[in-house]
Structure 1
Protein backbone atom coordinates (compact mmCIF):
# COMPACT_ATOMS: atom_id res chain seq x y z
CA UNK A 1 0.00 0.00 0.00
CA UNK A 2 1.33 3.37 -0.99
CA UNK A 3 -0.12 5.84 1.48
CA UNK A 4 -0.56 9.45 0.50
CA UNK A 5 1.79 11.46 2.71
CA UNK A 6 2.10 15.17 3.38
CA UNK A 7 5.24 16.48 5.00
CA UNK A 8 6.19 19.69 6.76
CA UNK A 9 9.58 20.55 8.26
CA UNK A 10 10.71 23.17 10.75
CA UNK A 11 14.17 23.43 9.22
CA UNK A 12 16.30 22.43 6.25
CA UNK A 13 17.86 19.28 7.71
CA UNK A 14 15.43 17.42 10.00
CA UNK A 15 17.01 15.54 12.89
CA UNK A 16 13.75 14.14 14.29
CA UNK A 17 10.36 13.04 12.97
CA UNK A 18 6.80 13.16 14.27
CA UNK A 19 4.48 10.75 12.45
CA UNK A 20 0.89 11.90 12.99
CA UNK A 21 -2.01 9.49 12.43
CA UNK A 22 -5.49 10.97 11.94
CA UNK A 23 -8.84 9.66 13.10
CA UNK A 24 -11.58 7.76 11.28
CA UNK A 25 -12.99 9.64 8.30
CA UNK A 26 -10.27 12.30 8.32
CA UNK A 27 -6.98 12.52 6.44
CA UNK A 28 -3.39 13.64 6.99
CA UNK A 29 -4.17 17.27 6.21
CA UNK A 30 -6.29 17.55 9.38
CA UNK A 31 -3.16 18.05 11.48
CA UNK A 32 -1.39 20.56 9.21
CA UNK A 33 -2.67 23.60 11.20
CA UNK A 34 -1.64 21.93 14.48
CA UNK A 35 1.87 21.23 13.18
CA UNK A 36 2.25 24.78 11.89
CA UNK A 37 1.38 26.19 15.32
CA UNK A 38 4.15 24.34 17.15
CA UNK A 39 7.24 26.45 17.77
CA UNK A 40 10.54 24.61 18.01
CA UNK A 41 12.74 27.64 17.33
CA UNK A 42 14.40 27.49 20.76
CA UNK A 43 14.91 23.73 20.82
CA UNK A 44 18.47 22.71 19.94
CA UNK A 45 18.53 20.60 16.78
CA UNK A 46 14.89 21.31 15.96
CA UNK A 47 15.04 25.00 15.19
CA UNK A 48 16.71 26.72 12.24
CA UNK A 49 19.89 24.65 12.62
CA UNK A 50 18.15 21.31 12.08
CA UNK A 51 14.50 20.64 11.96
CA UNK A 52 11.61 18.40 12.83
CA UNK A 53 9.86 16.55 10.03
CA UNK A 54 6.10 16.12 10.39
CA UNK A 55 4.92 13.05 8.47
CA UNK A 56 1.16 13.18 7.86
CA UNK A 57 -0.06 10.02 6.11
CA UNK A 58 -3.64 9.52 4.99
CA UNK A 59 -5.31 6.18 5.59
CA UNK A 60 -6.82 4.50 2.55
CA UNK A 61 -10.53 4.68 1.87
CA UNK A 62 -12.25 1.45 2.90
CA UNK A 63 -15.69 0.24 3.95
CA UNK A 64 -16.21 0.49 7.71
CA UNK A 65 -18.59 -2.20 8.95
CA UNK A 66 -19.75 -0.30 12.04
CA UNK A 67 -20.85 2.56 9.76
CA UNK A 68 -22.98 0.32 7.55
CA UNK A 69 -20.13 -0.36 5.15
CA UNK A 70 -19.84 3.32 4.25
CA UNK A 71 -16.45 3.97 2.63
CA UNK A 72 -14.19 6.47 4.36
CA UNK A 73 -10.52 6.95 5.23
CA UNK A 74 -9.76 4.37 7.91
CA UNK A 75 -6.71 2.67 9.32
CA UNK A 76 -8.73 -0.48 10.03
CA UNK A 77 -12.27 -1.83 9.95
CA UNK A 78 -14.45 -1.58 13.05
CA UNK A 79 -16.75 -4.56 13.47
CA UNK A 80 -20.00 -4.36 15.42
CA UNK A 81 -20.70 -7.06 17.99
CA UNK A 82 -23.11 -9.61 16.47
CA UNK A 83 -26.76 -9.07 17.47
CA UNK A 84 -26.14 -5.71 19.11
CA UNK A 85 -26.89 -2.23 17.88
CA UNK A 86 -26.18 -0.59 21.23
CA UNK A 87 -23.51 2.10 20.84
CA UNK A 88 -21.93 1.10 24.17
CA UNK A 89 -21.63 -2.59 23.25
CA UNK A 90 -18.09 -3.99 23.10
CA UNK A 91 -16.59 -4.20 19.62
CA UNK A 92 -14.93 -7.15 17.97
CA UNK A 93 -11.57 -6.25 16.51
CA UNK A 94 -10.72 -6.96 12.89
CA UNK A 95 -7.25 -8.33 13.49
CA UNK A 96 -6.42 -8.67 9.79
CA UNK A 97 -6.99 -4.98 9.03
CA UNK A 98 -5.28 -3.93 12.29
CA UNK A 99 -2.19 -5.96 11.37
CA UNK A 100 -2.18 -4.54 7.85
CA UNK A 101 -2.24 -0.99 9.25
CA UNK A 102 0.51 -1.93 11.73
CA UNK A 103 2.64 -2.88 8.72
CA UNK A 104 2.00 0.50 7.10
CA UNK A 105 3.08 2.31 10.25
CA UNK A 106 6.14 0.11 10.67
CA UNK A 107 7.01 1.06 7.07
CA UNK A 108 6.62 4.77 7.87
CA UNK A 109 9.02 4.41 10.81
CA UNK A 110 11.49 2.47 8.66
CA UNK A 111 11.21 5.12 5.94
CA UNK A 112 12.30 7.78 8.43
CA UNK A 113 15.20 5.61 9.62
CA UNK A 114 16.26 5.10 5.99
CA UNK A 115 16.21 8.88 5.58
CA UNK A 116 18.74 9.26 8.40
CA UNK A 117 16.52 9.84 11.44
CA UNK A 118 17.53 7.60 14.37
CA UNK A 119 14.59 5.62 15.74
CA UNK A 120 15.18 7.24 19.14
CA UNK A 121 14.23 10.56 17.49
CA UNK A 122 10.96 9.34 15.98
CA UNK A 123 7.64 9.92 17.76
CA UNK A 124 4.29 8.41 16.77
CA UNK A 125 1.21 10.50 17.52
CA UNK A 126 -2.39 9.66 16.84
CA UNK A 127 -5.93 10.84 17.44
CA UNK A 128 -8.90 8.47 17.89
CA UNK A 129 -8.43 5.61 15.40
CA UNK A 130 -4.95 6.99 14.74
CA UNK A 131 -4.33 6.85 18.50
CA UNK A 132 -5.28 3.17 18.52
CA UNK A 133 -2.77 2.53 15.75
CA UNK A 134 -0.10 4.63 17.49
CA UNK A 135 -0.41 2.50 20.61
CA UNK A 136 -0.68 -0.82 18.81
CA UNK A 137 2.15 -0.25 16.30
CA UNK A 138 4.34 1.81 18.62
CA UNK A 139 4.41 -0.74 21.41
CA UNK A 140 5.19 -3.51 18.93
CA UNK A 141 7.68 -1.67 16.73
CA UNK A 142 11.03 -3.47 16.54
CA UNK A 143 12.89 -0.16 16.96
CA UNK A 144 13.17 1.87 20.14
CA UNK A 145 11.11 5.02 19.48
CA UNK A 146 11.40 8.38 21.21
CA UNK A 147 7.79 8.22 22.34
CA UNK A 148 4.11 7.79 21.67
CA UNK A 149 1.51 10.55 21.92
CA UNK A 150 -1.96 9.07 22.40
CA UNK A 151 -4.95 11.39 21.99
CA UNK A 152 -8.39 9.94 22.71
CA UNK A 153 -8.03 6.27 21.84
CA UNK A 154 -7.50 2.76 23.11
CA UNK A 155 -5.07 -0.14 22.70
CA UNK A 156 -6.27 -2.70 20.13
CA UNK A 157 -5.38 -6.38 20.47
CA UNK A 158 -4.74 -5.82 24.16
CA UNK A 159 -4.52 -9.56 24.89
CA UNK A 160 -1.47 -9.98 22.63
CA UNK A 161 0.39 -6.82 23.63
CA UNK A 162 2.48 -8.27 26.48
CA UNK A 163 3.76 -11.11 24.29
CA UNK A 164 4.40 -8.87 21.25
CA UNK A 165 5.71 -5.67 22.82
CA UNK A 166 9.19 -4.53 22.05
Structure 2
Protein backbone atom coordinates (compact mmCIF):
# COMPACT_ATOMS: atom_id res chain seq x y z
CA UNK A 1 0.00 0.00 0.00
CA UNK A 2 2.81 2.35 -0.86
CA UNK A 3 0.87 4.38 -3.43
CA UNK A 4 -1.45 7.16 -2.30
CA UNK A 5 -5.04 6.14 -1.68
CA UNK A 6 -7.77 7.38 -4.00
CA UNK A 7 -10.39 9.41 -2.16
CA UNK A 8 -13.89 10.83 -2.39
CA UNK A 9 -13.87 14.43 -1.10
CA UNK A 10 -16.87 16.40 0.16
CA UNK A 11 -16.34 19.98 1.32
CA UNK A 12 -19.29 21.49 3.19
CA UNK A 13 -18.26 25.05 2.28
CA UNK A 14 -15.33 26.93 0.77
CA UNK A 15 -12.05 27.17 2.67
CA UNK A 16 -12.46 24.21 5.07
CA UNK A 17 -11.19 24.77 8.60
CA UNK A 18 -11.52 21.12 9.68
CA UNK A 19 -11.02 17.71 8.07
CA UNK A 20 -12.67 14.37 8.78
CA UNK A 21 -10.90 11.30 7.36
CA UNK A 22 -13.49 8.51 7.22
CA UNK A 23 -12.50 4.87 6.51
CA UNK A 24 -15.11 2.42 5.22
CA UNK A 25 -15.66 -1.23 6.14
CA UNK A 26 -14.71 -4.48 4.42
CA UNK A 27 -15.92 -4.76 0.83
CA UNK A 28 -17.27 -1.20 0.68
CA UNK A 29 -15.54 1.86 -0.75
CA UNK A 30 -15.14 5.58 -0.14
CA UNK A 31 -18.63 6.31 -1.44
CA UNK A 32 -20.22 4.24 1.36
CA UNK A 33 -20.46 6.93 4.05
CA UNK A 34 -20.45 10.06 1.87
CA UNK A 35 -24.30 10.23 1.83
CA UNK A 36 -24.55 10.62 5.60
CA UNK A 37 -22.71 13.97 5.67
CA UNK A 38 -25.93 16.03 5.30
CA UNK A 39 -27.49 14.10 8.20
CA UNK A 40 -24.64 15.12 10.52
CA UNK A 41 -24.24 18.78 9.61
CA UNK A 42 -25.50 21.71 11.66
CA UNK A 43 -25.85 25.24 10.25
CA UNK A 44 -23.44 26.91 12.67
CA UNK A 45 -20.56 24.49 12.08
CA UNK A 46 -17.29 25.58 10.48
CA UNK A 47 -16.48 24.51 6.93
CA UNK A 48 -15.37 20.85 6.91
CA UNK A 49 -13.56 18.72 4.35
CA UNK A 50 -14.72 15.09 4.53
CA UNK A 51 -12.21 12.69 2.95
CA UNK A 52 -13.39 9.15 2.23
CA UNK A 53 -10.49 6.98 0.98
CA UNK A 54 -10.90 3.75 -0.96
CA UNK A 55 -9.08 0.79 0.57
CA UNK A 56 -6.99 -1.20 -1.92
CA UNK A 57 -8.26 -4.47 -3.40
CA UNK A 58 -6.81 -7.58 -1.79
CA UNK A 59 -7.73 -11.26 -1.32
CA UNK A 60 -9.46 -12.03 2.00
CA UNK A 61 -8.51 -15.37 3.54
CA UNK A 62 -11.79 -16.12 5.36
CA UNK A 63 -13.72 -15.28 2.16
CA UNK A 64 -11.91 -18.04 0.24
CA UNK A 65 -9.36 -15.58 -1.08
CA UNK A 66 -11.90 -13.52 -2.99
CA UNK A 67 -10.44 -10.03 -3.60
CA UNK A 68 -12.31 -7.01 -2.26
CA UNK A 69 -11.54 -3.60 -0.84
CA UNK A 70 -10.02 -4.10 2.60
CA UNK A 71 -7.73 -2.35 5.05
CA UNK A 72 -6.22 -5.70 6.09
CA UNK A 73 -6.68 -9.42 5.51
CA UNK A 74 -8.88 -11.37 7.92
CA UNK A 75 -7.02 -14.58 8.57
CA UNK A 76 -9.17 -16.24 11.27
CA UNK A 77 -12.38 -15.87 13.27
CA UNK A 78 -10.51 -15.29 16.54
CA UNK A 79 -10.71 -11.59 17.31
CA UNK A 80 -7.38 -11.68 19.14
CA UNK A 81 -5.53 -12.69 15.98
CA UNK A 82 -7.91 -12.27 13.04
CA UNK A 83 -6.36 -9.10 11.62
CA UNK A 84 -3.24 -9.49 9.48
CA UNK A 85 -0.73 -7.35 11.39
CA UNK A 86 1.29 -6.33 8.34
CA UNK A 87 -1.90 -5.20 6.61
CA UNK A 88 -2.88 -3.13 9.65
CA UNK A 89 0.59 -1.56 9.66
CA UNK A 90 0.35 -0.67 5.96
CA UNK A 91 -3.09 0.92 6.39
CA UNK A 92 -1.92 2.92 9.41
CA UNK A 93 0.93 4.30 7.27
CA UNK A 94 -1.52 5.12 4.47
CA UNK A 95 -3.73 6.95 6.98
CA UNK A 96 -0.71 8.88 8.25
CA UNK A 97 -0.07 9.99 4.66
CA UNK A 98 -3.66 11.24 4.39
CA UNK A 99 -3.20 13.22 7.61
CA UNK A 100 0.04 14.69 6.20
CA UNK A 101 -1.83 15.68 3.05
CA UNK A 102 -4.48 17.55 5.06
CA UNK A 103 -1.81 19.34 7.08
CA UNK A 104 -0.14 20.32 3.81
CA UNK A 105 -3.48 21.75 2.65
CA UNK A 106 -3.55 24.01 5.69
CA UNK A 107 -5.58 22.06 8.25
CA UNK A 108 -3.86 21.94 11.67
CA UNK A 109 -3.59 18.41 13.04
CA UNK A 110 -5.63 19.58 16.06
CA UNK A 111 -8.55 20.08 13.65
CA UNK A 112 -8.41 16.67 11.99
CA UNK A 113 -10.84 13.95 13.09
CA UNK A 114 -10.47 10.27 12.22
CA UNK A 115 -13.59 8.16 11.64
CA UNK A 116 -14.01 4.53 10.71
CA UNK A 117 -16.64 1.82 10.42
CA UNK A 118 -15.78 -1.82 11.18
CA UNK A 119 -12.38 -2.48 9.53
CA UNK A 120 -11.92 1.26 9.03
CA UNK A 121 -12.51 1.82 12.73
CA UNK A 122 -9.93 -0.81 13.59
CA UNK A 123 -7.36 1.18 11.59
CA UNK A 124 -8.08 4.57 13.19
CA UNK A 125 -7.89 3.06 16.69
CA UNK A 126 -4.62 1.28 15.86
CA UNK A 127 -3.24 4.51 14.40
CA UNK A 128 -4.20 6.60 17.43
CA UNK A 129 -2.29 4.34 19.83
CA UNK A 130 0.88 4.72 17.78
CA UNK A 131 0.76 8.45 17.11
CA UNK A 132 1.94 11.41 19.20
CA UNK A 133 -0.10 13.77 17.02
CA UNK A 134 -2.86 15.62 18.92
CA UNK A 135 -5.73 14.97 16.52
CA UNK A 136 -9.15 16.36 17.42
CA UNK A 137 -10.92 13.05 18.00
CA UNK A 138 -11.76 9.49 16.96
CA UNK A 139 -15.10 8.19 15.68
CA UNK A 140 -15.17 4.39 16.03
CA UNK A 141 -18.36 2.80 14.67
CA UNK A 142 -19.19 -0.91 14.96
CA UNK A 143 -15.53 -1.74 15.42
CA UNK A 144 -12.80 -3.05 17.71
CA UNK A 145 -9.06 -2.79 18.35
CA UNK A 146 -7.09 -5.63 16.69
CA UNK A 147 -4.67 -7.57 18.93
CA UNK A 148 -5.60 -5.29 21.85
CA UNK A 149 -3.07 -6.50 24.42
CA UNK A 150 -0.13 -5.94 22.06
CA UNK A 151 -1.57 -2.66 20.80
CA UNK A 152 -2.08 -1.23 24.28
CA UNK A 153 1.36 -2.37 25.48
CA UNK A 154 2.98 -0.80 22.41
CA UNK A 155 1.05 2.47 22.77
CA UNK A 156 3.24 5.55 22.99
CA UNK A 157 3.40 6.39 26.69
CA UNK A 158 3.41 10.15 26.13
CA UNK A 159 1.21 10.01 23.05
CA UNK A 160 -1.91 12.08 22.58
CA UNK A 161 -5.16 10.72 24.02
CA UNK A 162 -7.85 12.27 21.82
CA UNK A 163 -11.54 11.95 22.75
CA UNK A 164 -13.32 8.92 21.31
CA UNK A 165 -16.93 8.47 20.16
CA UNK A 166 -17.63 4.73 20.06
CA UNK A 167 -20.97 3.20 19.02
CA UNK A 168 -22.05 -0.39 18.45
CA UNK A 169 -25.06 -2.55 17.70
CA UNK A 170 -26.26 -4.83 20.49
CA UNK A 171 -27.25 -7.41 17.86
CA UNK A 172 -24.10 -7.10 15.72
CA UNK A 173 -23.38 -10.58 14.25
CA UNK A 174 -20.08 -9.51 12.62
CA UNK A 175 -18.31 -7.96 15.61
CA UNK A 176 -20.08 -9.00 18.83
CA UNK A 177 -20.73 -6.04 21.11
CA UNK A 178 -18.76 -7.68 23.93
CA UNK A 179 -15.62 -7.39 21.76
CA UNK A 180 -16.24 -3.68 21.18
CA UNK A 181 -17.01 -3.09 24.85
CA UNK A 182 -13.68 -4.71 25.76
CA UNK A 183 -11.93 -2.30 23.38
CA UNK A 184 -13.77 0.64 24.96
CA UNK A 185 -12.66 -0.44 28.44
CA UNK A 186 -9.04 -0.85 27.34
CA UNK A 187 -8.98 2.57 25.69
CA UNK A 188 -10.53 4.20 28.77
CA UNK A 189 -7.94 2.52 30.99
CA UNK A 190 -5.22 3.76 28.62
CA UNK A 191 -6.39 7.34 29.17
CA UNK A 192 -8.66 8.06 26.22
CA UNK A 193 -11.77 10.10 27.14
CA UNK A 194 -14.42 7.80 25.64
CA UNK A 195 -18.14 8.20 25.04
CA UNK A 196 -19.88 4.83 24.54
CA UNK A 197 -23.21 4.25 22.82
CA UNK A 198 -25.11 0.99 22.25
CA UNK A 199 -28.07 0.68 19.89
CA UNK A 200 -30.60 -2.03 19.11
CA UNK A 201 -29.20 -2.80 15.67
CA UNK A 202 -26.94 -5.17 13.76
CA UNK A 203 -23.69 -4.28 11.89
CA UNK A 204 -24.88 -0.91 10.63
CA UNK A 205 -25.54 2.69 11.61
CA UNK A 206 -28.86 4.16 12.74
CA UNK A 207 -30.48 7.60 12.96
CA UNK A 208 -30.12 7.83 16.75
CA UNK A 209 -26.42 7.07 16.41
CA UNK A 210 -25.92 9.85 13.86
CA UNK A 211 -27.76 12.28 16.14
CA UNK A 212 -25.47 11.37 19.06
CA UNK A 213 -22.42 11.68 16.80
CA UNK A 214 -23.58 15.09 15.65
CA UNK A 215 -23.90 16.17 19.31
CA UNK A 216 -20.37 14.88 19.99
CA UNK A 217 -18.95 16.70 16.95
CA UNK A 218 -20.75 19.86 18.01
CA UNK A 219 -18.92 19.70 21.34
CA UNK A 220 -15.57 19.25 19.57
CA UNK A 221 -16.12 22.31 17.38
CA UNK A 222 -17.39 24.39 20.30
CA UNK A 223 -14.36 23.47 22.45
CA UNK A 224 -11.98 24.63 19.72
- Interval of TM-score (by shorter of Structure 1 and Structure 2): 0.7 to 0.9
Does the CA-based 8 Å contact 1:136-1:157 persist in structure 2? no
**What residue ranges of structure 2 are gaps of 5+ in the alignment?**
160-224
1:155 maps to: 145
CA distance in 1, matches of 2:20, 2:140: 13
CA distance in 1, matches of 2:128, 2:51: 15
1:34 maps to: 36
Match 1:164 to one of 155, 170, 175: 155
Does the CA-based 8 Å contact 2:61-2:75 persist in structure 1? yes
Match 2:88 to one of 91, 98, 104: 98
Q: How far has the Cα of 1:35 moved from its partner?
A: 1.2
Normalising by structure 2, we get a TM-score of: 0.65
- 1:127-149 residue CA offsets vs partner (Å, 9 max, x unmatched): 00011011111232231100000
Deviates more, 1:101-110 or 1:133-142: 133-142
Superposed, 1:1-166 pairs within 5 Å as 1-43=3-45, 46=46, 51-80=47-76, 91-158=81-148, 159-165=150-156, 166=159
Aligned residue pairs total 154
CA distance in 2, matches of 1:89, 1:115: 37
Does the CA-based 8 Å contact 2:130-2:154 persist in structure 1? no
- 1:31-90 residue CA offsets vs partner (Å, 9 max, x unmatched): 1110133223212xx1xxxx100000010010011111110000011112xxxxxx5775
Normalising by structure 1, we get a TM-score of: 0.86
**What residue ranges of structure 1 are gaps of 5+ in the alignment?**
81-86
Does the CA-based 8 Å contact 1:76-1:94 persist in structure 2? yes
Which secondary structure does the structure 1 equivalent of 2:33 belong to? helix
Q: 1:65 to 1:142 in 2, by over 3 A?
A: same
CA distance in 1, matches of 2:79, 2:129: 26
Does the CA-based 8 Å contact 2:79-2:147 persist in structure 1? no
Compare relative contact order (CA 8 Å, sep 6+) and give the higher one, 1 or 2. 1
